[in-house]
Structure 1
Amino acid sequence: MKPRIAIIGTGLSGLSAASALHAAGHEVQLFDKSRGSGGRMSSKRSDFGDLDLGAQYFTARDPGFCRAVARWQEQGWVAPWTPRIYQSRQGRLSPSPDAQPRWVGTPRMSALTRGLLGELPARFACRICEIFRGAQHWQLLDADGNLHGPFSHVLVAVPAAQASALLSAAPALATRALNTPMEPVWAVALGFSDKLPTPLEACFVQDSALAWIARNSSKPGRTAALDSWVLHASSDWTRAHLELPAGDVLEHLAAAFAEVLGQPLPAHAEHLAQRWLYARPAAEQAFAALADPQLGLFACGDWCLAGRVEGAWLSGQQAAREILDSLRDPA
């Protein structure tokens, strides 16, 4: 059987691996429970424009990732974002000294994963709930009872808690994934008919229910009828209010936003809220990917590294290398 590789998850880590494996001449098949690619890099379409509710931007440090970002910029998938960035500490606003280059997908964050997906075969709205091995090959069972396969290798590229359940055939991998705690984050978007009178376009927040504020409409390529803002709660506040109704979350975080700005907010024309249960790993991990080459079972994700967008891409690249090595040395 010619190697056929299943990849569960079309976030950046899964697509990073898929691109590398496809470039090496191998057949891949992607699966995702959502209706489109992106994972936490997906964008939310709304009445007040496209919103980046998950990943807000990314930085590039690793030389290989820097080269990839340069290629993506040439293809028009990403662009630099240079917001007027502030920090809020003990109720006081001041310009942030953090001047590192920041990148965003354009015209929305999901443009990057859509570009990487290209024409690769993918099944969306397909929740894989079990991976099991037949006589020689892997089969996948989805939530509707359909079987997919056979596959010689399977790469699980979903959040750690979900990965652990899918990796039950490799208990050592499942345990490492299970022991990788993830932080939750409530995200809120607000749209105002008139532009808020503040120079602030992004802000790191401390001593507040909020951790991050961004003027979404300040990002390159965004077109919106409203002045749109995205607010991220701190993980501590989110854990304490995990089951709070979305309307109450909106009220609390909007009030915290007004406190940071030091001015009352006008009535917002539009709003929405989203809870990310697995927003980022609680601590940096010592592994870039998980692998059981003898079984042909692998896992990757930003949770394998430091939780950044760059970490997701690097994890996918490492998983692809592990799979390619196992193909070269099947013993």
Structure 2
Amino acid sequence: MSTPIAIIGAGVAGLSAAHALHAAGLDIQLFDKSRGSGGRMASKRSEAGVLDLGAQYFTVRDRRFAEVVAQWRQQGWVAQWSPNLYHFNRGQLSHSPDEQERWVGTPRMSAITRGLLGELPAHFTRRITEIFRSDRHWHLQDAEGETHGPFSRVLIAAPAPQAAALLGAAPKLAAAAASVQMEPTWAVALAFDTPLDTRVEGCFVQEGPLDWLARTRSKPGREDQPDTWVLHGSSAWSKQHLGLPKEDVIELLHGAFAELIGCAVPAPRFTLAHRWLYARPTQGHQWGALADGDLGIYACGDWCLSGRVEGAWLSGQEAARRLLEHLG
């Protein structure tokens, strides 16, 4: 039996790579610090329904990604989302002319990564803190002190700062990952007993503490949920208020939302805040993936390309391609 390949991270990039390697007949094992798959595509169950606190939607530009999204659609994992989209700028709320195709997971964003995970072998609630070589094989150590291995190769599919910390055995790759700056985002969910009297279903905010807001029930598969809204703080505001208590974040972003939405906003019956420390890279790169084929260590993620969901999937494919190419 062949020595398996370890993949650290069960978000879109890690699962994209896992699928490609599994399809090529290789044994893989996934590790993730969370309780389930998804990364920033994860959804949270709550008393107000399922909340997409991270990625709100995704777009398609690359032909290869378009082909896989068509397959996801046939499997019922995704649907097109066409919200009443607005912009808020200079104190004015105006309808957006943007007609770009947007896609969401159904009935939640995490449906995509749940579908990709399938029956692949995965270890959750395992935060990997160290990667080391012994007897020409790789071993992983988790936060509980448990060691996993041996593995023939390791593929790291984590945000750039976390990847850099694990790439000590490959200094050039570690330096590349460490050069990537990633921005934080505070996400807040608000649920109301009575639906708000507004046509807005999605809004790009150009000023103040908010960057984006979305009405959950406007998305396919969520129509029966309470009137729940997800608000994203801007990167600058989130960075400035990174250590603020969640209650204060909710209060401030709720206030900003009430000021711009253009209708009466009562006290919400449910609130929740989540801090994404590494929400998005500050700029795109064209690496595709990072690889040291001789050492057998690879890294991928949206930060290797566009910073978008599509970039994460393509980066996972590229990491798998380079690994398979080196196997020859």
TM-score where L is the length of structure 1: 0.97
CA distance in 2, matches of 1:295, 1:281: 27
1:213 is paired with a residue of what secondary structure?
strand
Work out whether residues 91 and 259 of structure 1, in 8 Å CA contact, stay in contact via their aligned partners in 2. Answer: no
1:210 lines up with 2:222 in the alignment: no
Q: Return the letter of the residue paired with 2:162.
A: Q
1:55 lines up with 2:60 in the alignment: no
Work out whether residues 210 and 234 of structure 1, in 8 Å CA contact, stay in contact via their aligned partners in 2. Answer: yes
Q: Following TM superposition, by how much is the alpha carbon of 1:262 offset from its aligned partner in structure 2, in angstroms?
A: 2.7
2:73 is paired with a residue of what secondary structure?
helix
Structure 1 runs of 4+ with >3 Å offset: none
Q: Following TM superposition, by how much is the alpha carbon of 1:144 offset from its aligned partner in structure 2, in angstroms?
A: 1.3
CA distance in 1, matches of 2:276, 2:50: 18
1:321 is paired with a residue of what secondary structure?
helix
Q: Paired residue for 1:182?
A: 182
Q: Return the letter of the residue paired with 1:128.
A: I
CA distance in 1, matches of 2:221, 2:299: 34
Deviations 1:117-138 (A, max 9, x none): 0000000011111100012110
Deviations 1:60-82 (A, max 9, x none): 01000000000000000111111
Q: Paired residue for 1:165?
A: 165
Alignment of 1:1-331 (within 5 A): 2-222=2-222, 224-328=224-328
Work out whether residues 131 and 138 of structure 1, in 8 Å CA contact, stay in contact via their aligned partners in 2. Answer: yes
Q: Any gaps of 5 or more consecutive residues in structure 2?
A: none
Q: Alignment length, in residue pairs?
A: 328
Deviations 1:31-90 (A, max 9, x none): 001000000000011100000000000000100000000000000011111111011111
Work out whether residues 287 and 304 of structure 2, in 8 Å CA contact, stay in contact via their aligned partners in 1. Answer: yes
Q: Return the letter of the residue paired with 1:75.
A: Q
CA distance in 2, matches of 1:163, 1:122: 19
Q: Return the letter of the residue paired with 1:143.
A: A
Deviations 1:210-242 (A, max 9, x none): 010100121111155420000001000011111
Deviations 1:130-168 (A, max 9, x none): 100012110111111111111111000011111111110
CA distance in 2, matches of 1:30, 1:214: 32
CA distance in 2, matches of 1:283, 1:56: 19
CA distance in 2, matches of 1:128, 1:258: 41
CA distance in 2, matches of 1:207, 1:219: 25
Q: Return the letter of the residue paired with 1:214.
A: A
CA distance in 1, matches of 2:144, 2:241: 33
Q: Following TM superposition, by how much is the alpha carbon of 1:249 offset from its aligned partner in structure 2, in angstroms?
A: 0.7
Work out whether residues 211 and 233 of structure 1, in 8 Å CA contact, stay in contact via their aligned partners in 2. Answer: yes
Over the matched positions of the two proteins, sequence identity in percent amounts to 63
Provide the aligned C-alpha RMSD in A.
Answer: 1.0
1:191 is paired with a residue of what secondary structure?
strand
CA distance in 1, matches of 2:34, 2:179: 25
Which is worse superposed, 128-137 or 108-117?
Answer: 128-137
* Cα distance change of structure 1 residues 225 and 283 upon mapping to structure 2, 3 Å threshold: closer
Work out whether residues 49 and 223 of structure 1, in 8 Å CA contact, stay in contact via their aligned partners in 2. Answer: no
Which is worse superposed, 77-86 or 261-270?
Answer: 261-270
CA distance in 2, matches of 1:213, 1:231: 4
Q: Return the letter of the residue paired with 2:180.
A: T
TM-score where L is the length of structure 2: 0.98
1:288 is paired with a residue of what secondary structure?
coil
Q: Following TM superposition, by how much is the alpha carbon of 1:2 offset from its aligned partner in structure 2, in angstroms?
A: 2.1
Work out whether residues 49 and 224 of structure 1, in 8 Å CA contact, stay in contact via their aligned partners in 2. Answer: no
Work out whether residues 130 and 141 of structure 1, in 8 Å CA contact, stay in contact via their aligned partners in 2. Answer: yes
Q: Any gaps of 5 or more consecutive residues in structure 1?
A: none
Q: Following TM superposition, by how much is the alpha carbon of 1:26 offset from its aligned partner in structure 2, in angstroms?
A: 0.7
CA distance in 1, matches of 2:244, 2:141: 34
